[in-house]
Structure 1
């Protein structure tokens, strides 16, 4: 099936929500990458995805079982967590496109020893044994001393 549009929503997305991305660029099926910037407006987010095929109605919004973003808890730490409701067993975690961990059924990861005030690209891939499944990119900034 060809997917011509992916629309991403957060918060109360089953009935409305904040549209954070549209037409996120999938011309063929597969993982979609969603940029996030940590914000003081929320401490976590549920991501919803809707698919649309040319000439058809948008699919129902589906919660992507990936992300519950937990911003930094110390000066040099980013902690991420996600739901793994579908029990994906192949989980890959990247920092700035470098594989940091490849693991089984976990739902959190801590990045320690990070530089203050620096932007990092964090990607978590959850896949089933057939190498299919959601993927998300989180962008977070480790706070400096005077930002805490």
Structure 2
């Protein structure tokens, strides 16, 4: 996720677009967006940046690409890890297909395979269980 606060602090320190993009790992276009928003909102010093909450900064750069997690059906990560702990592990693809076959409440959506895989990996790393490791 892009660290808009860091970009903002580098913008007010008058770093070049290239320096900021390299330091933060973002595009020049993102730097330009942050700089334009800072100018529009009157943020010119590091003191101005420090006065802003993280929520304020994040609300300036909502682009609609991120969906609220409540829209999605949460996979049963514990069950997935249990299934993957046996010697004959089902593939993540087959576990995703099982996830997709469950009934979905109105207004809810299912994760695509790539996001499902990312979430399972994040769960495994966070829990430290190593359930999806190969033997």
TM-score by length of 1: 0.22
Greater helix fraction, Structure 1 or Structure 2: 2
For the pair shown, the structure with the greater C-alpha radius of gyration is 2
TM-score by length of 2: 0.24
